[in-house]
Amino acid sequence: MADHCNGSSQSSKSFVNIPPIKFTKLFIDGNFVDSVSGKTFEAIDPRTGEAITRVSEGDKEDVDLAVKAARFAFDNGPWPRLSGYERGRILMKFADLIEQNIEELATLEAINGGKLFSLCKFMEVPGAAMALRYYAGAADKIYGTVLKLSKGLQGYTLREPIGVVGAILPWNFPTSMFFVKAAPALAAGCTMVVKPAEQTPLSALYYAHLAKLAGIPDGVLNVVNGFGETAGAAISSHMNVDKVSFTGSPEVGRKIMMAAAASNLKPVSLELGGKSPLLIFDDADVDEAAKFAFNGIFTNKGEICVASSRIYVQVGIHDKIVNKLIEKANAWVVGDPFDPQVNQGPQTDKNQFEKILSYIEHGKREGATLLTGGNRIGQKGYYIQPTIFADVKEDMIIAKEEIFGPVMSLMKFKTMEEAIKRANDTTYGLAAGVITKDLNVANTVSRSVRAGVVWINCYLLLDVGCPYGGYKMSGFGRENGMDSLNEYLQTNSHSSESFANIPPIKFTKLFINGNFVDSVSGKTFEAIDPRTGEAITRVSKGDKEDVDLAVKAARFAFDNGPWPRLSGSERGRILMKLADLIEENIEEIASLDAINGGKLFSLCKLIDIPAASMALRYYAGAADKIHGTVLKLSKGLQGYTLREPIGVVGAIIPWNFPTIMFFLKVAPALAAGCTIVVKPAEQTPLSALYYAHLAKLAGVPDGVLNVVNGYGETAGAAISSHMDIDKVSFTGSTEVGRKIMVAAATSNLKPVSLELGGKSPLLIFDDADVDEAANIAFNGMFFNKGEICVASSRVYVQEGIYDKIVDKLVEKAKALVVGDPFDPQVNQGPQADKKQFEKILSYIEHGKREGATLLTGGKHIGQKGYYIQPTIFADVKDDMIIAKNEIFGPVMSLMKFKTMEEGIKRANNTTYGLAAGIITKDLNVANTVSRSVRAGVVWINCYTVFDMDCPYGGYKMSGFGRDYGLDALNQYLQIKSVVTPIHDSPWH
């Protein structure tokens, strides 16, 4: 049977001798076996709709057996341990065998998938051999990197096979997709379990047979025929599969990703659907453009994810292009795929056949103009006429949804800007095409269209060396090229013994009156390394008696010592010296914060500790600029004010930024002339003790700076209620802040500065740049593993870009590397302590129970240490616990809003008011929201951007008082007004 769009011809002879089907069972551990259940299913010939043969139906039990074989082959077998050269030699032999059996393989593709025999013989099957040869040649060229690390360290990376790979294939290109996944995975040294599409299993089984003949060891390549809901689901959720690679629909891709996340959080590569635009400009050659457009959609009967199903033609040549396309459609021959005169075979299966016909009916009903085609051909098999619609609108179903069949949508455009905008108006982003002679147009469009591959003056030109994959809902990961090989490798970083030479812990006692001393009780407590949950050392445990001694020393130093009486310039000089000493010891201090707080060594070294010395220099420079004011009083009076140090300060600091918070309190207090007793968090005392040592070396007098390690309930409470402390400055939780304020009120009514919790909103408006907004939102939440009071934990996204932002954030979360904070490749270290770790996990469970959608993360990592996956919830409601309570960990809540007014109202619907963010290009929106949101700091088109000169602190239950800037200095000063009478002054 053959058919032109407006006629048909029948043929009674077959065009090829079809050989018997040889392989129909499962291929597990080097053998063809029946399924555990004994079930089979029909392999259908789409030319007739009738069964060719029956194939074993694999299920969960069969997947378990295949994974077990692949796991053993990876963990114990030779394949990953062969040299790349040896693996490459076997893959070359595999390619030779494919070419020797090319006729039979091409036949299987035609009878099982309706594909043109000639194209399979001359393109697809040779393409499989080419892929094998390409990656075989790369197998011995998998290199790591020699790293230049810090002084005294040598490091390198290894690129190692990721492990057992689960590959779930589509039915449109059974051969190509088999080797797009198998060739790089095998070259990398992985083992595999392949599930071919249930519609097209026959060629995959033949390739398994050839792989064994080529010398691939048993268990390395396994093929489990079966259905997506059973065998595919079992692969996706299997705890012993280390990676899943899937090509298919977004709907199934989403399920696979969720299953991977819900199981062992295996990495996933998804090459999903497309609704690819082809933009034809007025200067294009009409014949050439029509050819590209036509072949771009009707090749492989439209069953191709990068099909040019949306054709945008500039108005000047629109009618000419239309005429050419109709002419080509009328000449297009549909029929038996073995007939050398045929251009298009049957659709792959009945479901797809009926789905395409239903889309055609949608197009007619929605008012698109049917130019040609639109009907099935014959009563037997799954043949459809090439179909072209004109006058298609973007909101029509045929323009929005992936049809995956021979249906073209034609649309007209005027300007390049319009074309780009309309081309990008899709949830997909797999491919695009541009046809023009104008270099500027080609460059502009190719840079502006959001797609993983853009063809200029061509289409469907795929090369094994050129990676392709999707943007947006077309997936992530790349096929072809070295990028694809890297998908099956993981980086293992090595250095001599450790990523850093961790120095011995030097200071573990209390620091009182210029000396390191044991606690009065002699008690100690463990300082824990959150990387392991094990003790690093034991630290003296201060209590009320120790606080009394520290306050006594500070009181004496303030009342009688030199520090408050030095000139501001002299105090500044000593603080500058302390800053110098910090910078000279930056490596050692950074190590302390990393091993004691789980903070990234690199960030401590580059940000936290330099920020400490910056704070010291800032306030050192302000120490001699503490001025009072001359007052013009009523007649006969002269007045002025003095700004004097407030006295003995008690500073209680948190564990999330041990260094920065230490100096945000200490630097302005010392610059003001105060003395101070610091209680570091019990979780992170080590760097504070080191700073006390450096302060003495710098020349800070005895008694001026004291450090008392201890617990909040004892040492912290003693500071808060102490009658000889003149001010308390605290950063931490709202609950503890309330206790401190009560204690201050019930003791000597000392002033209190409280920088408390936050549940900070970030409002992203529709006009925001999606990439920039996602980057700001992500870093705002996951910086410092979410242990930051101003974290953008409530992200409100306007509905127009919500889905795009969600996709970007999930992509970023999956790329975030959690691990040893000394590893330069790591983005997130462990949570600071076990209690916080468990608290975060409990909040995640709350989110799940309350009905928020867990997009990614949600689990701890490993069995040792306090590592948690970056976690993102969508569909969060404002009344959920995860949206109301401060989690203080790597957990983001995503919410959608419509209007600016709604965004403001919901942002303010919290008991907190520490920080907020706005991302918009609209000046009016920025001004309105920044004035309307109740928060102590509002960042516009940025987030967590701190500067020493910019004060920050809370509204509402986020506390009061300010850190940073001269406002912070003023909190350690009090105003004294001096008034004297003046007689007979000429000036009144």
pLDDT in tens, 189-236: 999 999 999 999 999 999 999 999 999 999 999 999 999 999 999 999
CATH topology of domain 761-970: Aldehyde Dehydrogenase; Chain A, domain 2 (3.40.309)
Crossing angle for the helix pair 439-448 and 416-423, nearest 10 degrees? 30
Q: What percent of the chain has pLDDT over 90?
A: 74
Q: Residue 57 is which amino acid?
A: E
Q: What tens digit of pLDDT does each residue of 334-379 get?
A: 999 999 999 999 999 999 999 999 999 999 999 999 999 999 999 9
CB 256 within 8 A of CB 265: no
Greater pLDDT, 493 or 801: 801
- pLDDT of res. 911: 87
For the whole model, what pTM was predicted?
Answer: 0.57
- pLDDT of res. 927: 87
Which residue has 């201090």 as its token pair? Answer: 589
pLDDT at 631 > cutoff 80: no
In sequence order, what are the residues at sequence separation of 6 or more whose Cβ sits closer than 8 angstroms to the Cβ of residue 317? 280, 282, 284, 286, 289
Q: Quick check: do 26-271 and 277-468 share a fold?
A: no
Q: Is 755 a catalytic residue?
A: yes
CB 392 within 8 A of CB 368: yes
The full set of domain ranges for the chain reads 26-271, 277-468, 510-756, 761-970
H/E element, 976: strand 973-981
pLDDT at 156 > cutoff 50: no
User: 510-756 falls under which CATH superfamily?
Assistant: Aldehyde Dehydrogenase; Chain A, domain 1 (3.40.605.10)
Range 256-275 average pLDDT: 79
CATH topology of domain 26-271: Aldehyde Dehydrogenase; Chain A, domain 1 (3.40.605)
Structure tokens at 566: 């030095």
In sequence order, what are the residues at sequence separation of 6 or more whose Cβ sits closer than 8 angstroms to the Cβ of residue 527? 505, 508, 535, 536, 537, 538, 539, 596, 685, 686
- The model's confidence at residue 7, banded by pLDDT at 50, 70 and 90, is very low
Q: What tens digit of pLDDT does each residue of 485-537 get?
A: 877 875 433 333 344 556 789 999 999 999 999 999 999 999 999 999 999 99
CB 880 within 8 A of CB 847: yes
Compute the mean pLDDT over every residue in the chain, rounded to the nearest whole number: 90
Range 714-740 average pLDDT: 93
Range 956-960 average pLDDT: 83
In whole angstroms, what is the distance from residue 964 CA to residue 661 CA?
Answer: 10
Burial track 774-792 (b if 16+ CB lie within 10 A, e otherwise)? bebbbbbbbbbbbbbbbbb
In 281-406, the DSSP E strands lie at: 310-314, 334-335, 369-372, 376-377, 383-384, 387-390
> Annotated catalytic residue: which of 271, 402, 479, 487?
271
H/E element, 677: strand 675-679
pLDDT at 15 > cutoff 70: no
Range 595-616 average pLDDT: 93
User: 277-468 falls under which CATH superfamily?
Assistant: Aldehyde Dehydrogenase; Chain A, domain 2 (3.40.309.10)
Q: Which residues pair with 403 in a beta bridge?
A: none
Q: What tens digit of pLDDT does each residue of 759-784 get?
A: 999 999 999 999 999 999 999 999 99
Structure tokens at 311: 């054709």
> Annotated catalytic residue: which of 109, 124, 755, 787?
755
